[in-house]
Amino acid sequence: MAMAARTFAVPLPLCAASSPPRATPLALPCRGAARPLASLAPCPARGHAPSPRRAAGRALAPCAVKRGGGGGGEFASDDGGGARALLQATLWGAEAAYILWLFLLPYAPGDPVWGISQATISDLIGLSLNFFFILPLVNSAGVHLLESPVLHPMAEGLFNFVVAWTLLFAPLLFTDSRRDRFKGSLDLLWGFQMFLTNTFLIPYMAIRLNDPDKDKSPPQTSKLGSVMVRGAPIVGLTGGLVCIVSIAWAFFGRADAGFGGIAERWQYVQSYVFSERLAYAFLWDILLYSIFQPWLIGDNIQNVKANATEFVNSVRFLPVIGLVAYLFCLEDRDA
């Protein structure tokens, strides 16, 4: 009787010492939406552990995610150093031109600081007394402990608009990630900025581009800075409302004082800014603030709440509005 041939299945090892080595997958670059890939590494020969180099090659590099990327204007110390130096030189040149053109030289409209007229001094005092329209509104409510100087509403509106915008910069400066480059007092800098605007903001913008002092501890926030940061929404509401009132006051304020309608007021402001040094300087302040506002917000977009980052990054180029949005969306933290 013929016996049927029996077959035996011989188990083959998955990996043998004599089997040719399989290529080890290299580390793959991270992709935001991709899931980590698991690779099967070849079995090492018996009695031999995988080499550290090969083991390290299997590890996947972690992805570093930066919130609000692309919104800022940071300059790395090892990249763009020439551009940073050029930008700093431009800012220092702008500071020199600002002081010479608006304060010292007689070529800009109006009187230089060394030849200021008594009429300009009187206007400055009157505008300061009507700060944020507090005194005119108090007088209109029937309280006359101190009478409000009657000035052209266009002049009052322009003055208070720039001052209110300066107020809005305070929480932004106190939350600036590069404020440690400035060795002086931010309290004093912002205080002087309230009176002389870009005379002090331009140098700060240049100094904040310096390399960080690695041996210096993080700056301590002053009491004023803490109040400004914690009360950022209140500052934003106050400054934003004053800016709106300033525009409305310029075109419609003091309607019973004989300053004319919108056409007459618009004609006045055109002659005003090109005949008075103070008003002419305010035009430059508005231009420079329109540049510095989106720059600073872009560099500090990480301070904004995560769900508002895209919105603030989009509106930061709108004068005043972008800064108000930053203050309202500032992430809660201990200053």
176-205 per-position pLDDT tens digit: 999 999 999 999 999 999 999 999 999 999
Can you give the pLDDT at residue 312?
A: 98
Whole-number Å distance between alpha carbons of 287 and 95: 14
Domain-wise residue ranges, the chain: 81-328
Q: What is the dihedral of CA 59, 302, 316, 172, to 10 degrees?
A: -150
More confident residue, 24 or 295: 295
pLDDT-based confidence at 76, cuts 50/70/90? very low
- From residue 308, alpha-carbon distances to 67, 301, 314, 316, 326 in Å are 11, 10, 10, 12, 9
DSSP secondary structure string, 117-150? -HHHHHHHHHHHHTGGGHHHHHHHTT--SSPPP-
Mean pLDDT across the chain: 82
**278 closest CA partner among 109, 96, 104:** 109
pTM: 0.77
Q: Give yes or no for a contact between 247 and 157, defined as CB atoms under 8 angstroms apart.
A: yes
pLDDT-based confidence at 80, cuts 50/70/90? low
